[in-house]
Every structure is written in C-alpha cells, then in structure tokens.
Structure 1
Amino acid sequence: MPVDSLLDAAASATVATQTVGVYPGHRKVALCDRLAGAGVQRVVNLGSALSGSIGGPYDAMYPLHRFVSWVVDDDA
C-alpha cells in the first residue's frame, strides 16, 4: 500500500504483525519503538524475514521457551 512516510505505514502494524521488513535498513532505527509499541516482534532488513535467529519468534510464539524450564534462585 502506498504511504507518504514510513511512520504512516507503521500505524497499520498490530499485534497480528509479527515481522516488518524495512528498506533501506538504516531507517529501522526511526521505526523500532513505534512498531514494538504496536506489538510487532521482529524488524528486519527488507528481504531478510526468512533468516530468523535461534530462540526468536515463530508463528507469534517463542517455541524454544516450551523446551526450557526456568528456575529462579531467589535469596531475597
């Protein structure tokens, strides 16, 4: 969809938007806070959405966390 500015495009992001690709990549800095506030989980360089990272979000969840048991050593 054509927009006048990247901030206009960011206004369309919701919690249903997992990944946003941005071109040129240096413009991600100006968008990250707004996209994160809208619920976006990943902001990548345009064309890099398929190269995820270990432990990163997948299908709106973090599957690696299901295989880990978190233990708190609390001395308080």
Structure 2
Amino acid sequence: GTSVTFIATPTNGGTTPTYQWYNGATAISGATNSTYTSAALANGNSITVRMTSNASPCLTGSPATSNAINMIVNPNLP
C-alpha cells in the first residue's frame, strides 16, 4: 500500500522527450510523464521506461529503454 515513485532522468533527450512506462512488457496506461508513481505494484513486477528523444538531429539510441527495476514487496507484519 506504500507509494513508490520512479523518475526518468534523460541524457540527450531534447527539449520535450516522450516517455512510456512499462510493467513487464505491458505499457502502463496513462504513464507518459518523466515520473511514475504507484501504490499498486506487486512482488515481482518489473518496471521500465522507454524515452524517445526529440533532439535534432536525433542521436543514436532513441528510443532508449531503462534497466528494469524488479519490485520486492514484503507482506505486512502482524
């Protein structure tokens, strides 16, 4: 039930890069900002973000996908 916030910090993203957050291979609906917050993640969820640069000229590596963050959720203690 605790919120977790993820923050994408682009390198060479241009002035207005675009973002899409994923849980595994599934795009998270509406998660298109540089930050993503959720209190509904479960143990084993794998969160990544894909950033597409709008830099001109477009640098190599766009879109770029982050390393995965694998969630470990411990049960509430009695």
**Shorter-chain TM-score: what band?**
under 0.3
The answer to which structure has the higher strand fraction is 2
TM-score norm. by structure 1 comes to 0.26
Q: Which has the higher helix share?
A: 1
* Larger Rg belongs to: 1
| Greater relative contact order (CA < 8 Å, ≥ 6 in sequence) | 2
TM-score, structure 2 as length reference: 0.25
